[in-house]
Structure 1
Amino acid sequence: MATDVKVPTLGESITEATLGQWLKKPGEPVKADEPIASLETDKVAVEVPAPVAGIMGAHAVAEGDTVNVGAVIAVIEAGSGAAAPAPAAAAPAAQTPASLKAADPVPEPALRSDAAPAAATEEDDGSPLTLSPAVRRLVLELGVDPSGIKGTGKDGRLTKDDVLAAAKTAPKAAPAPAAAAAPSATAPAAAATGERREERVRMTRLRQTVARRLKEAQNTAAMLTTFNDVDMTAVIEARARYKDLFEKKHGVRLGFMGFFVKAACMALKDIPAVNASIDGDDIVYHDYADISVAVSAPNGLVVPVIRDAQSLSVAGIEKTIGDFGKRAKDGTLKMDEMKGGTFTISNGGVFGSLMSTPIINPPQSAVLGLHRIEDRPVVRDGQVVVRPMMYLALSYDHRLIDGREAVTFLVALKNAIEDPTRLLIDL
């Protein structure tokens, strides 16, 4: 008796997704609730669990196909036998990731699943490994053998940190002589010096959504960016003084984002227009601060939301951001965590950005851009001194927020960061 595998409910207003990757092949044994496929939605990647234990049956859709919620994508046959032998057509999978990258062109699904070396998809006991899309992509990029890596994730599954650690310690392997001598019908010979190559890869659904929303923001909002700078001396000293005690008590590192989120909440309270949005001919003001925090994920930028950030302590904010960052790398953020938000903070400084003009995240009306900290000469009390300075950028919808309000918001934020005592006494 076969059991249908259907596309699960993906969240409010989301009716379709893209079949990003099959994690189980026909004939392989599966356990109940074991991930068998990965779906890419407009915001996050979602794993499809097996409804029952049995043998993976036929795939009803291919990787890259669009599927609707409730659609049947595969079947699971009754039984618990060993996996069926791999078909002969799978032989080209034994080529190395490097040769795959040289192929011209190579579709994205091949880079993410079937292109993995045969030894990289089986454990020592011969049973197949189950890799998440992010981990599988990293395995291919780094050219490591996952069968020799000890997983630290749930049920012993590999995480990105496991793969990165293994890549750092693994010696660079020389190409096998047999592989060099064997003719290849699917990968061209090594490119000659100066040869130009191209690779065409289909945009992921997440990247398509990001591109569409950013362009919509430019087309709809009257965007303007105002800049200021902030002296980070006081925050750096406070962090250096209390970071060990903070981590010991709260179990999380004390970073700069906790200070900026608290300072932003105070400034939003004083300048409510920056925390508002436009709905038709109405302005919607919010008496709460749901702060969207831009986080880098394997498939692009995601923006989870810190709910009621105005009510959280610095420790609560740091814990929430740390959890978001970890789960963004693992691809386990939930749909509800990406919805809403009244104001966005994007920290390009972690990548070395000196200055930028961030684009607002509709229907929000403003976004704060943080940048790298660098020592610069400034004048204090008539003397030129060196201070750790950071540029701040506030991009906003000029239809709702006037220049006076934007500047006032940045000054309030600057004052709170330069004198963190203000955060304690709400000044």
Structure 2
Amino acid sequence: MTEFRVPKLNNNDTSYVLVEWLAEDGQEVRDGDPIVLLETSKATEEVEAPADGVLRRLLAEGAECEPGQVIARLLASADEPPAETTETPGAGSGGNPGEPQASTPPGDVSGVIVTAPARELIEAHGIAMERVYALGRKVIRRTDVEELLGAREPSPAVADDAAVEDDATTGDDATTGGDDAQWITLSRAQQRTAEVVERSRREIPAAFTAMNVDVTEVLSLARDLTRRLRTLVGLPEMVVKAAGGLLDRFPMFFAQPGPGPRARRAATADVGVTVDVGRGLFIPVVRDAGNRPLAEIAGDLVGFRKTALTGSFRERDLQGGAITLTLHTHDGIVFAVPIVFPGQTCALSLTAPRTEVVQDGPGFAVRKTATVGLAYDHRYINGRDAAEFLGELRTALESPARFLTENG
């Protein structure tokens, strides 16, 4: 018999949601077969069987589970009796110890599972559960609820029967909790983002430097490459490629802080890029940006944007970044200060291009400029180093044809 334990899928979450079993109870599975779908705050991940055996499930769909928790066993044969389980549900799943819990409301016989992120969105917008069940899906995810919101009717009244506690002594709703309608509950993903930001501000003494970059030429080249490569190439793609090319000259900017006065070198320039299409912030990683062709980098970013629309990132898409590029592409943003993510020494920010009129000899010229910022952990990187790094990045972007010829 082999115990099937929940793997550690990321460093930010202490619990996951068991969205769906991909193999039936009592089914014979092979080593490496996907058997369960787990949802973290950022991704949905298929987890594979660690060995051959007959699956005996110990946790219901919709329940929460923790890394290391036994949620199934793989028996040598269907005739082998399963060992008695002493496992308890994951944090937040509720119920009696050892009793599998699901998100399906009491009395519902449809068997529909509602994941935690979907449940939060349903409650925040007061969506009637009848409309959710009417979708006819076995598992309701956040994207399904967002689909409902896209074509929703006027919201029903929020919780007519909800009890509102009256604090007669202070009258302070902020102290007692007050009416639920007055509160906005953060999504699971936003809670994880808050934790990362709080940790960064608490642990990392960051400084910030920014430079204006003339992007007139690189934007023109990007338009030409979009036609030639038949994939979208824009300023973010160019910045990822240019930043990746600086690994050898500036290894500390891609290093992982270590114990004591040391930092671990990165073997490749793996660049995380923020993607936010209105369904939460994701930071998928472009692998080996310094050595791969621009067309492949552009293809990665196009794929990331499509995946963000469905919220179907895998944890491996989001892990391993050596440096992060945060995109601030709304018109009117002059500069943005990113946070330095724990485990990295710096983060870049990029604004949308803006039009500037500059003196050109006796006359004037119009050019496009963007601001590239760098937040950096001052324990590892000094201001002079930051200025030199940004200067090299600006040189690459202002002479893009030469840079791409030399770097592919």
Do the structures match in fold with TM over 0.5? yes
Q: 1:202 to 1:376 in 2, by over 3 A?
A: closer
User: Which of 182, 191, 198 pairs up with 1:198?
Assistant: 182
Query: Deviation digits for residues 15-73 of structure 1, max 9, x if unmatched?
Result: 952338x679xxxxxxx9999975325x42346899xxxxxx9975866x554444449
Q: Percent identity?
A: 23
1:13-412 paired onto structure 2 within 5 Å: 16-19=14-17, 39-41=39-41, 43-46=42-45, 60=60, 65-72=64-71, 108=120, 110-111=122-123, 115-122=127-134, 128-130=136-138, 133-144=141-152, 185=161, 197-201=181-185, 203-204=187-188, 206-247=189-230, 252-279=231-258, 280-296=260-276, 300-350=280-330, 353-381=333-361, 383-412=363-392
Query: Deviation digits for residues 296-332 of structure 1, max 9, x if unmatched?
Result: 2666322222221111111010111222222233232
Do the aligned partners of 1:10 and 1:69 also contact (CA within 8 Å) in 2?
Answer: yes
Match of 1:96 in 2: none
Do the aligned partners of 2:6 and 2:66 also contact (CA within 8 Å) in 1?
Answer: no
Q: Give me the whole-angstrom Cα distance separating, in 2, the residues matched to 1:346 and 1:87.
A: 40
Q: 1:89 to 1:142 in 2, by over 3 A?
A: farther
Q: Give me the whole-angstrom Cα distance separating, in 2, the residues matched to 1:198 and 1:352.
A: 32
Amino acid at match of 1:384: F
Superposed structure 1 runs of 4+ greater than 4 Å apart: 5-8, 12-16, 32-38, 47-50, 57-63, 86-91, 112-117, 183-188
Do the aligned partners of 1:112 and 1:137 also contact (CA within 8 Å) in 2?
Answer: no
Q: Give me the whole-angstrom Cα distance separating, in 1, the residues matched to 2:392 and 2:310.
A: 36
Amino acid at match of 2:253: V
Q: For the aligned residues, what is the CA RMSD? A: 4.7
Q: Give me the whole-angstrom Cα distance separating, in 1, the residues matched to 2:340 and 2:385.
A: 16
Unpaired stretches in structure 2, ≥5 consecutive residues:
22-28, 50-56, 73-103, 110-117, 165-178
Q: 1:221 to 1:290 in 2, by over 3 A?
A: same
Do the aligned partners of 1:38 and 1:45 also contact (CA within 8 Å) in 2?
Answer: yes
The TM-score with structure 2 as length reference comes to 0.68
Match of 1:11 in 2: 9
Do the aligned partners of 1:273 and 1:400 also contact (CA within 8 Å) in 2?
Answer: yes
Do the aligned partners of 1:112 and 1:140 also contact (CA within 8 Å) in 2?
Answer: no
Give the superposition deviation at 1:200.
4.4
Amino acid at match of 1:244: R
The TM-score with structure 1 as length reference comes to 0.65
Query: Deviation digits for residues 98-130 of structure 1, max 9, x if unmatched?
Result: xxxxxxxx972743899455355346xxxx224
Give the superposition deviation at 1:421.
1.8
Amino acid at match of 1:134: R
Give the superposition deviation at 1:291.
1.0
Q: 1:403 to 1:311 in 2, by over 3 A?
A: same
Give the superposition deviation at 1:233.
0.9
Unpaired stretches in structure 1, ≥5 consecutive residues:
25-31, 51-56, 74-85, 92-105, 145-172, 189-194
Amino acid at match of 2:9: G
